[in-house]
């Protein structure tokens, strides 16, 4: 199986893909989330693993828009404990480091640590693992990368400091994406307990509250609620909800009711809750 990821060898996306699918997969590495979807479009990958939110840095809202505008569905999810390490060439100390290059999400998750090192310049880059590999291959002194401990081992780098993230409760949620038709599930083959739905609303008082009340009535739990601009329609927004449930008939009933009260309704995926 060919699995597209945003990132390169040693990245957290690589770890998440192996965590979900196992190690017997071929990774298709992409330098951006846009290119991840392009790899799917051109059949260079069978599916993809894509980060969507982090417990410190928040949600990658742009990825909701990419998914909404594609033919792909969420078919699974996995959660990864993120443990950031500061790494670079050996025979240096952290006081020798003048620049740290890493993915902006990683930098955003380590603000408290770097507040204690105001002389270190933080530079945004396309990937965590790629920056570690670059330091190792080009023998760059005075520069460090933020990546997982596996990247240090893979590229032979020295770890100056482990667990530099702002909170030990640092998790990233990754979505599994496939070109999967709309669900044909029935109560007999019902196997999922989570879904992501998307919709727009007219500008009326209490519009969103009505949707939430429908879900509450059917005892469906809203795990996350995000909004993104509806491109081309000024000051209009699309809402994206992750919902969790155990009763298939209640879920179906809620969906049919919500469809009638919203605009541009879409089920972005139905899947089993990750762990």
151-168 pLDDT, tens digit each: 999 999 999 999 999 998
Q: Which of 78, 128, 172, 196 is catalytic?
A: 172
Compute the CA torsion angle 100, 106, 109, 112 (nearest 10 deg).
Answer: -10
pLDDT in tens, 206-249: 899 999 999 999 999 999 999 998 887 777 889 999 999 999 99
pLDDT in tens, 108-144: 999 999 999 999 999 999 999 999 999 999 999 999 9
Single pTM value for the model: 0.89
Q: Does this chain's domain 2-81+171-178 share its CATH topology with 194-270?
A: no
Domain boundaries of the chain, sorted by first residue = 2-81+171-178, 85-162, 194-270
- Given a cut of 60, whether residue 98 has pLDDT beyond it is yes
Q: Could you tell me which CATH number the domain at 85-162 has?
A: 3.40.190.10
Q: Could you tell me which CATH number the domain at 194-270 has?
A: 3.30.70.260
Q: Which of 37, 113, 160, 174 is catalytic?
A: 174
CA distance 80 to 275: 9
What is the overall mean pLDDT for the chain?
93
Alpha helices, DSSP H, located in the chain: 12-21, 33-41, 61-68, 104-108, 111-115, 128-138, 149-155, 207-217, 248-261
Q: How confident is the model at residue 190 (pLDDT cuts 50, 70, 90)?
A: low
Fold category of 2-81+171-178 in CATH: D-Maltodextrin-Binding Protein; domain 2 (3.40.190)
Q: Centre a 10 Å sphere on the Cβ of residue 169 and count the other Cβ atoms it contains.
A: 10
174 is known as an active-site residue: yes
């Amino acid at each position: 199986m060919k699995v597209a990821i945003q990132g390169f060898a040693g990245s957290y996306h690589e770890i998440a893909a192996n965590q979900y699918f196992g190690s017997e997969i071929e990774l298709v590495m992409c330098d951006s989330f846009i290119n991840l979807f392009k790899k799917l479009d051109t059949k260079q990958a069978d599916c993809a693993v894509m980060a969507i939110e982090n417990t410190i840095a928040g949600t990658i809202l742009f990825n909701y828009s990419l998914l909404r505008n594609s033919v792909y569905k969420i078919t699974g999810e996995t959660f990864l404990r993120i443990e950031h390490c500061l790494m670079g060439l050996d025979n240096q100390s952290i006081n020798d480091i003048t620049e740290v290059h890493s993915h902006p999400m990683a930098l955003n998750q380590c603000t408290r640590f770097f507040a204690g090192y105001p002389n270190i310049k933080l530079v945004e880059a396309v990937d965590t693992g790629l920056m570690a590999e670059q330091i190792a291959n080009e023998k760059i002194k005075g520069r460090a990368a933020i990546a997982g401990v596996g990247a240090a081992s893979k590229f032979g780098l020295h770890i100056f400091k482990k667990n530099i993230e702002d909170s030990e409760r640092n998790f990233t949620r990754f979505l599994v994406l496939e070109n999967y038709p709309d669900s044909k599930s029935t109560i007999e083959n019902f196997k999922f307990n989570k879904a992501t739905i998307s919709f727009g609303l007219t500008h009326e008082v209490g519009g969103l509250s009505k949707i939430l009340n429908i879900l509450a009535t059917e005892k469906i739990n809203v795990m996350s609620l995000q909004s993104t601009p509806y491109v081309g329609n000024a000051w209009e927004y699309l809402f994206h909800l992750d919902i969790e449930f155990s009763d298939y008939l209640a879920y179906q009933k809620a969906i049919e009711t919500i469809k009638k009260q919203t605009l541009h309704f879409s089920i972005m995926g139905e899947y089993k809750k990750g762990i």
